[in-house]
Amino acid sequence: MKITIFGSGYVGLVTGACLAEAGNHVVCVDVDPRKVEMLSRGEVPIHEPGLDEMITRNQAKGRLRFTLDAAEGVAHGLFQMIAVGTPPDEDGSADLKYVLEVASTIARHMTDYKVVITKSTVPTGTADKVRAALVDTLRARGAAVEFDVVSNPEFLKEGAAINDFMKPDRIIIGTDNPRTTELMRALYEPFTRNHDRLIVMDIRSAELTKYAANAMLATKISFMNEMANLAERLGADVEKVRLGIGSDPRIGYSFIYPGVGYGGSCFPKDVQALERSARAVGYESSILDAVEAVNARQKRVLHEKILAHFGGRIAGRTIAVWGLAFKPNTDDMREAPSRVLLEALWEEGARVRAYDPVAMNEARRVFGARSDLVLCESMEAALAGADALAIVTEWQEFRSPDFDGIRAALAEPVIFDGRNLYDPQLMSRFGFTYYGIGRGARVPTPAD
């Protein structure tokens, strides 16, 4: 099949590469000349395991190419996928400017039937606006060209997106035309051979499903962080509580890991946008408000623990930070808890030595050059001259470090574990003062 994707960001690149991998011919259209040039050379501007190789392989086979030419893209594909960004507007609602611009662009150039598909995460009712933009532009041209609009939201986890696309747990299709249902079924048939994963529904329900899914997962995270904060004050261990409730199949173990809050490009933006959508129709969503408030507070927890340990004064101290990306296996630092922590430490006059396995270039872009930040080439180098260690991202390489080496490198053997990677009793035996999230009172060291 011939497919055109507008937008070569995270969703567009993963979608294009995976569809090409299945044997389709894909053209990705973008407005950024530098990005198109990079991608055409096989240079991928984001970190996603397996994506570089998949893009290079399908470019070499002639199934995937990148262009600035919108007219070429519209002419190419029966399927026209919109995968551009929907950044938060000033009030937190999703900005649909780029989505609607693409819809108008498609209508300006189309000469035959197209299936226009929204892959971008958009508020309920966006498909109506996309259809109106198509109709208005076609009318201005004096053209009568048939089209259908479909909602096909993505459910890709950063760090596991290739597997999510190639082996989906569900494919949501929102359509009002049986013909497009069959076309979409044919498009996704290579990914559903073992089991039919397609769930077909009306367009508005499909649009809301994406927001509801992300809001539900964010709710689980914020709820568990609330339990962690309560456990800490009651002298309980939230990790034991997590095992106890996760064993209930109605709850499960996914997304109930306490920590320093969620980040990234999806959960913060989508919870805000859904909350604003609720207000727009006169409904006050108390749960969504609480999820957002708890997450904002949780991002400050590690800083508060550091400040309390050092008696409220950390000016002149150096904190080693392991992990800058909002989660492992990505370089994405959008809304990352690390950004809140570093800004708070700097505001108190502290210095930071930081390391992340893949997000160092992104950190340089985000923070720029500053005298109170040293970006280190290894986790060991980040410890040099530091007064304490703070762990913000649960990268695999942080899970079993050389604890003797850590203790020897730090001016004071204290660890602030924002992801509960370590066992408090083990830390005590190694001579550390250890602060986790929701692990009860501070674990005393043998020296105590």
Catalytic residue among 18, 28, 266, 376: 266
Helices 203-234 and 267-280 pack at an angle, to 10 degrees, of 110
Phi, psi angles (nearest 5°) of residue 171 = -125, 115
Is 266 noted as a catalytic residue in this protein?
yes
If DSSP states are collapsed to H, E and C, what string results for 293-333?
Answer: HHHHHHCCHHHHHHHHHCCCCCCCCEEEEECCCCCCCCCCC
Kindly report the number of other CB atoms within 10 A of residue 348's CB atom.
17
DSSP state of 31: S
Contact partners, residue 403, CB within 8 Å, separation at least 6:
427, 430, 432
Nearest to 269, CA basis, from 7, 91, 418: 91
With beta carbons less than 8 A apart as the criterion, state whether 386 and 409 touch.
yes
Angle of helix 286-298 versus helix 203-234 axis, rounded to 10: 50
Within 13 Å and on the Cβ side, how many CA atoms surround 66? 27
**Edge to edge, what strands does the sheet with 198-201 contain?**
64-67, 25-29, 2-6, 79-82, 114-118, 147-151, 171-174, 198-201
Nearest to 264 by CA among 218, 333, 321: 333
Tokens 């508005």 locate to 204
Indicate the helix (H) or strand (E) that contains 231: helix 203-234
Alpha-carbon dihedral 211, 14, 187, 71, rounded to 10 degrees? 100
Alpha-carbon distance of 313 to 28, in angstroms, equals 52
Q: Is the separation of the CB atoms in 121 and 270 below 8 Å?
A: yes
Question: How far is the C-alpha of 222 from the C-alpha of 224, rounded, in Å?
Answer: 5
Between CA 314 and CA 316 the distance in angstroms is: 6
Instruction: Tell which residue, 169, 19, 139, has the closest CA to residue 80.
Output: 19
Neighbouring residues of 260: CB distance < 8 A, sequence distance ≥ 6? 298, 299, 301, 302, 337, 341, 392, 418, 419, 437
Three-state secondary structure call for residue 95: coil
Catalytic site positions:
266
